[in-house]
Each structure stands twice: as structure tokens, then as C-alpha cells.
Chain A
């Protein structure tokens, strides 16, 4: 049992902190809304800056242009970026796509898309959900029909986060009419701007654009942009979802710790009738209890990380961790709103706004986290059936 970071990991953390001092996150141009997960806003310039340091490809095999650094370097990087509130939005998704390409991507994906990822020039939207296929993803209707060396995709995707500002879509389709629970689905990596792809913004509850709806009308895609063998996209997807839960939430604990520190600062410096809010016994207790939950959350993710690293089987661990991350985030946002009182609803840029309006934004965006990437209900069922072996009930 050991809870210390290796000397290499510590040195890397220091290197990342130096980078963040030299290139303050607030100086990068922002392209898309901060969805509140803890990875900040979407900034292409920031992703390119990470790429310049070689940090996007650092854990890839040398044969693919990587430096073969241990997986924990990614954790170190994510923690440091999250603590600094940096705008690294699409980074986890970029890493996952790269890993999938390395594992089972075609020659074309490896030679065209992978180098663009390493340069920080590619990012991906997930085209999974459809109007009638949410939790029941396999009810999807989007179809990819074989036509010579190509596929022709027809369908309608929705809730695709940041699709309008990404470079490629990961589009999940059925490639067989008989597609049932697990076979007959295929995933494609489709460049934005491909003929027949119509990407339309959806205004979100914050007033900004985050989601897009994507209409696919006879979109022609070469076979080389298919992920893995035809009909086996579901396996790719499942692996993707498992690691999505991990990589899409790992940085949440440090990000929430950053928010908690801001709240502590606020409680120390805000006086009511001459007494700092920090002296309020009830508030102290809630903030302290939240700190314990965030510490517990962080180690929960590290335990899953060790399982990934050691090749131990994962059945429920990422699902539990994701649900806890999202529910704890909602709880912290509620606590923050309570602390700010009458000022709580003020948005960024408003006169009188406290903490840059960050808390009201977090409050709203956190509502989506227990829905996105598998709802909290569906994931609890996963924990119970896949993790504990309880009987699968009526679905």
C-alpha cells in the first residue's frame, strides 16, 4: 500500500505548474462553453499549447509517435490543469479517441487522424444519442449502408456536445438491419464539413450553445474511417463508455476542490454584521463535510486508475465513481448557491456578481452531468447487476 507519487510524477507535476505560470490559462481564447465538468471551457489554442509540449501524445507507443510515458502522467496532467481552472475541455475525449485509434483504428485513421491529434488540431464530438435513443442507445435508427468501398450514412443525432466546433464526429450507426443487442453496429470517424452533414446549434439552459443536433443526409464515408471490424462497433462503444466514465470525470474532484477553496475564501472575507461568514457553525460544518467528500471522491478515482494500470478487471468501479462525481458536484453547487445568498443567481459579467458568476453557472451545468454519459439511474443498475451480480430486472 502506497499513497505517494513517484519522483517522476512529482517532477512532471512541477513541470505542468511551471507551464501554467508561464502561460496563464486566462490568456487563451475560448471557443466553446464550459460544461462544468471541471475541464473548463473549450479552447483550441490551449489544446495546441498542450500539443506543443508533447503532452497529448506522451503516453502513446513510440511506434505511433508517442513517448510511452506511464498512464499516471495523464492523471498528473489532468489534476494540475483542473486545479488551475484551465480550459482543457476536449482533452479527455481526444485522448480516448487516440487510444481507440491506436488499438483498433484503420491505417487511414492512424496516418491521417492520429498525427492531427498529436498536433492538437483534432477534436471529436460523440454522435451516439438520437431523439428516440437515449438511455436505450441501441434503439438508434441512424444507418450506414455499404456502397462499394464507401458507406452512406442517413440519420439524425442529437445532444452532440460541441459538435459545431470539433473537427470530427464519432458517429454510431447500425450497419445491419438485424442489429440487435450487441452485433451489427459500427462506429465511424467523420470529418465535419463532409457533404450531407448538417450541424445545428441548440441553445442550452445557460443561454449559450453547447449541444448540437446533427442531420445526416446521405453522408458518404470511406471504409477507412470505420472504427474496427464492421458490426463490432458496440464493443468499441462499451469500452469507450467505461473509459469515458473514468476519463470524463477523473479531474472532477480536483476541480471541485478548486471551487471549494473559492467558497472558503469567500466565507473568510465576507462579513455579515461584522462577523465573517466562516464563523457560522452550520456553514463551517457543511464546507468541512464537503471537503471530506471530495477527498473520498479523489481516492475513489485513484483506485479505479490503479485497476486500469494494473490490468485488474473493472466491473462497476467507473460507474460508481462517475455517479458520485456528478452528485457531489451538484451538492457543492447547491452549497455554493446557499453561501452566496441573494447574489447566487447573478451570472458572469453582471454588476454585483460574486466569484465571477462561476457558481450559478456550475449550478446549471451540473444538472446535466447525472444525465450525460449514462444517467445516474442506469449506472446504479449497472453497479448492481454487473458489479454485485443482482438479477437483471425488467428493463
Chain B
């Protein structure tokens, strides 16, 4: 039976997250300045969040992908920085497909004591594994991966190659992590491999299907993050429209502002519905992410207009949330990649 409502256990997860993050992850940039990402991560780990996809037998908290999506929506709402999506969603999904040998690593990932990330993108700038060139067939790896999230925090790099996947400790000889400077969002890195030795134990026995599924989980999580962020922006904008007075009345009394707010509602509600449908396998993840990227960025830009000049300054949270949406819209597949998938799904000949 079609039903958009989370279960009561899921509602509890969401309300716990809302409350915890309200206290430990302030949205105002000045209060956030002293935020310690690792300390926040430890707190999240105590709540069992990094282990949601991992079964309790291995030390996880037995959640589902829908649980993860609802949680990440809250992470987006609170603009939480850190390694959750690369580690607890994408890398964990891949390692879960890697069989019994990964159990110890998964146990440590579940407790948050270990952090992993996925390195995939190469010079083409695409998350499509089909176009990858790097290989470790010779037992050595040389080359570079781009736009790797959480590479500074990660103990493990799950590296997707042309002909397989390897899991490498990030401090292995020959690996260098070079920070890129983006306008916002979590730090991104170039990861360089200079004649890195790859042993048989480093190889992760997973199929191309498992890689695709993990990337899809990452894309879905980033979609949830955007939706949560856009919800936050909608709430902030409505609050501002009610309280900012010009010409003796709240700006929200002007139809121009009212209609802008109505469009925020449309964009948030549609992106959210499609996200949930995709999380439950009733719509394509590609469609959900492509749609949400456009919708949520539009929400952010329109909100700047509703806020006026105050949103142009560094002290205001809107630009920070906006930049996180921008980063999420690119991670695990940008709009070009996902719309091409949709194009094929609706039957357009390639």
C-alpha cells in the first residue's frame, strides 16, 4: 500500500537525529567555526549511525537503506560536515559485498573507529565506472584519483579501478593526498598513487553490479542530503518572510515573495517524494538525483533573493548550506551522468 510515512522506529531515528544535531552541530557559521568534525563523528557513532547498513552480527545496527536515507536527510537539514556518506554509505556498501574477509573492517566501520572512502573519478571527471583507466593488474598502482571526499580522515581508500576494486590503507607508501580548494562543502582531495604495491589481500572480490549498487547508494544519500538542506532553507525563508518588515509590513505579505515561497514548497515536496520513491525502488535513483539537484539548487538561489543582502555575507548560513547542496549534486554522479541514464531508461536510442 502506497504510504509516505516513516515507521515509528524511523520517526524515532529522525527525531533523535534532529535533537542531537540541533545541540551539537549549530548552523550559524560563527558558532560552527569551532566545530570539531571528529568529535561530532564520534558522537554520531555512539548513536550507531555509521553501522546502520551493517548487521548486528558484525557489530552494526541492522538498519535499512531507507533508514539511512531518512538519517542523511537530517544530516542535510543540519548541514553536518564529515565522512558519513563516503564512509558509512558508499564504502560500507562496497565492503559489505566483499565477503567474510571484510568483517573485521566492517565492525570497526560500524563503531566509527575506522573511516573509509571511495576513490573513483579520473581525468574525465565522471563517476561512470565504464570509463576508468587505472589498473593494478601488474601488482603496482600508478596514477591519480580526483574529487575524493574524506581522504584526510579515511583509514581505508576503496579504489575503484578499470578491472576491479582494491582497499588500501591511506598511509601506504606511495599514496599522497592533495587537498583541493572548493568554494564549500566537505574537503575534496586528489589522491596520487606513485608505484604503490598492491597485494592479493588488497583486492576486494566484488562484481561490477556491486560497484554500481554502492555508487547508487551514495547517489541516493547525496539526494537525501540535498532534500534535507532544501527543507532547512524553506523553513528559514518562510521564517524570514514573516519577520523581516519593510514599508511597515512583513515582506511575506507581498505576493512576489509569497509566490517565491510557494515555489520553494513545490521544489522541496517534489524532490522529497521522488527521493522516497527511489529509496523504495519505485523510481530510478538517477531520476531522483537529477531532479533534486536542479530543484534544490533552485531553492537555494531563490532563497538568496528572499533574504536579500544579509544572505550575501559570510556570517549568514544560507551560502554554506547552498554550497553543500552544490557539492552533493556532483558527488556520486552529476546531472549530466544521471540524465543520460534516464535518457536510456525512457528508451532514447544511444
**What residues of chain A have their CB less than 8 Å away from a CB belonging to chain B?**
1-6, 72, 260-261, 264-265, 267-268, 276, 278-279, 284-285, 287-289, 291-293, 295-297, 299-300, 302-303, 305-306, 316-317, 320, 323-324, 377, 379-381, 383-385, 387-394
Which residues of B are found within 8 Å of A380, using beta-carbon distances?
Answer: 255, 258-259, 262-263
Please, which residue of chain B has its CB at the minimum distance from the CB of A268? Answer: B349
Asked if B266 and A320 make an inter-chain contact with CB atoms under 8 angstroms apart, the answer reads yes
- Distance (Å) between the CB of A78 and the closest chain B CB? 14
A288 with B346, Cβ < 8 A, contacts A2-B1, A306-B2, A393-B253 known: yes
Contacting pair A300 B273 (CB below 8 A): yes
How many angstroms from the CA of A2 to the CA of B241 in the assembled complex?
35
Q: Does B44 make an interface contact (CB < 8 A)?
A: no
Q: Are B259 and A2 in contact (CB under 8 A)?
A: no
Chain A residues in 8 Å Cβ range of B284: 295
Q: For A260, list chain B residues within 8 Å (CB).
A: 346
Q: How far is the CA of A123 from the CA of B5 in the complex (A)?
A: 36
Give the residue of B1, B66, B261, B270 whose beta carbon is less than 8 angstroms from that of A324. Answer: B270
Decide: A387 and B346 in contact? CB cutoff 8 A. no
Shortest 9 CB-CB contacts between residues of A and residues of B: A384-B258, A3-B282, A299-B273, A296-B270, A383-B262, A390-B252, A380-B262, A292-B291, A3-B280
Q: Is B242 an interface residue (CB 8 A)?
A: yes
- The answer to whether A390 and B238 touch (CB under 8 A), given A292-B291, A302-B2, A381-B258, is yes
For B242, give its contact among A261, A377, A390 (CB under 8 Å).
A390
Interface centre among A306, A320, A385 (most CB of B within 10 A): A320
Residues from chain B with a CB closer than 8 A to the CB of A292 are 274, 287-288, 290-291, 339, 342
Contact indicator B265/A295 (Cβ below 8 Å) = no
- 8 Å CB contact of B269 from A2, A295, A303: A303
- Cβ of B143 < 8 Å from any Cβ of A? no
For residue B259, which residue of chain A has the nearest CB? A380
Contact assessment for B287 and A276 in the assembled complex, using a CB-CB cutoff below 8 Å: no
What distance in Å separates the Cβ of B58 from its nearest Cβ neighbour in chain A?
25
B-side contacts of A302, CB under 8 Å: 2, 4, 273
Q: A260-B346, A300-B270, A383-B262 are in contact. Are A389 and B280 (CB under 8 A)?
A: no
B139 within 8 Å of A (CB atoms): no
**List of A residues within 8 angstroms of B283 by Cβ:** 3, 295, 299
Interface residues of A, dominant DSSP: helix
Judging by beta carbons under 8 Å apart, are A284 and B2 in contact?
A: no
Task: Output the nearest chain B residue to A5 by Cβ-Cβ distance.
Answer: B2
Partner of A391, one of B253, B266, B271, B345: B253
Q: In the complex, what's the smallest C-beta–C-beta distance from B321 to chain A, in angstroms?
A: 19
For the complex, is B199 an interface residue (Cβ under 8 Å from A)? no
B258 touches A291 (CB 8 A): no
In the complex, chain B residues whose CB is within 8 Å of the CB of A3:
2, 276-277, 280-283
- B270-309 interface bits toward A, Cβ cutoff 8 Å, 1 = contact, 0 = none: 1101101101111110011011001100000000000000
19 contacts between A and B (CB under 8 A): A1-B4, A3-B276, A4-B2, A5-B2, A291-B345, A291-B346, A292-B287, A292-B339, A299-B270, A300-B269, A300-B270, A320-B262, A324-B270, A380-B255, A380-B263, A383-B266, A387-B262, A390-B242, A390-B252
Contacts of B349 in A (CB 8 A): 268, 276, 278-279
Enumerate chain B residues within 8 angstroms of A394, measured Cβ to Cβ.
253
Give the docked Cα–Cα distance between A289 and B294 (Å): 10
Contact B2–A2 (Cβ < 8 Å)? yes
B101 at the interface (CB under 8 A from A): no
Identify which of A268, A296, A317 contacts B348 (C-beta below 8 A).
A268
Distance, CA A394 to CA B250, complexed state (A):
12
Closest A residue by C-beta to B283: A295
* B254 within 8 Å of A (CB atoms): yes
Inter-chain contact A284/B343, CB cutoff 8 Å: yes
Are A320 and B269 closer than 8 Å at their CB atoms? yes
A291 neighbours in B (Cβ, 8 Å):
287, 342, 345-346
Residues of B within 8 A of A (CB): 1-7, 10, 66, 238, 241-242, 249-250, 252-255, 257-259, 261-263, 265-266, 269-271, 273-274, 276-277, 279-284, 287-288, 290-291, 294-295, 336, 339-340, 342-343, 345-350
Q: How far is the CB of A194 from chain B (nearest CB, A)?
A: 41
What is the CA–CA distance of A2 and B10 in the complex, to the nearest angstrom?
Answer: 13
**Cβ of A391 and Cβ of B262 under 8 Å apart?**
no
When distances are taken between beta carbons in the complex, the residues of chain A under 8 Å from B279 are: 1
Bound-complex Cα distance A380 to B262 (A): 6
Given A2-B280, A4-B2, A388-B238 in contact, is the A296-B274 Cβ separation under 8 Å? Answer: yes
On whether the beta carbons of B277 and A390 are closer than 8 Å, the reply is no
- Contact assessment for A381 and B1 in the assembled complex, using a CB-CB cutoff below 8 Å: no
A293: chain B residues at CB < 8 Å are 270, 291
**B4 contacts A295, CB within 8 Å?**
no
Contact status of A289 and B339, CB under 8 A, knowing A391-B253, A393-B254: yes
Q: A72: which B residues are within 8 A, CB to CB?
A: 1-2
Q: What are the residues of chain B within 8 A of A5 when measuring CB–CB?
A: 1-2
Asked if B291 and A295 sit within 8 Å, CB to CB, the answer is: yes
The answer to whether A296 and B271 have CB atoms under 8 Å apart is yes
Residue pair B7, A1 in contact (C-beta under 8 Å) = yes
Verify B4–A303 contact, CB threshold 8 A: yes
* Cβ–Cβ < 8 Å partners of A299 in chain B: 270, 273-274, 276-277, 283
Could you tell me the distance in whole angstroms from the C-beta of A265 to the nearest C-beta in chain B?
8
Contact of A261 among B7, B287, B336, B346 (CB under 8 A): B346
Contact between chains at B347 and A295 (CB < 8 Å): no
B2 touching A377, Cβ below 8 Å: no
User: What residues on A are CB-neighbors of B261 within 8 Å?
Assistant: 383-384, 388, 390
B3–A2 CB distance below 8 A: yes
In the complex, what's the smallest C-beta–C-beta distance from A375 to chain B, in angstroms?
11
Q: Which of B7, B273, B350 has the most CB of A within 10 A?
A: B273
Q: Give the residue name and chain of the B residue nearest to A2 (CB).
A: B3
CB-CB under 8 A for A6 and B1, given A324-B266, A393-B255 = yes
Query: B66's contact among A1, A296, A320, A387, by CB below 8 Å, is which?
Result: A1
A264/B259 in contact, CB under 8 A = no
Contact B265 A388 (CB under 8 A): yes
A57 to B44, CA, bound (A): 53
A334 to B3 Cα, complex, angstroms: 34
Per the bound structure, the CA–CA distance linking A317 and B1 in Å amounts to 20
Given contact pairs A278-B348, A285-B339, A287-B348, A384 touches B280 in the complex (Cβ within 8 A): no
Q: A3-B282, A4-B282 given as contacts; is B3 within 8 A of A261 (CB)?
A: no
Question: What separation, in Å, do the CA atoms of A389 and B282 have in the docked complex?
Answer: 33
Q: What separation, in Å, do the CA atoms of A285 and B238 have in the docked complex?
A: 33
With both beta carbons as reference points, the residue of chain B lying nearest to A265 in the complex is identified as: B347
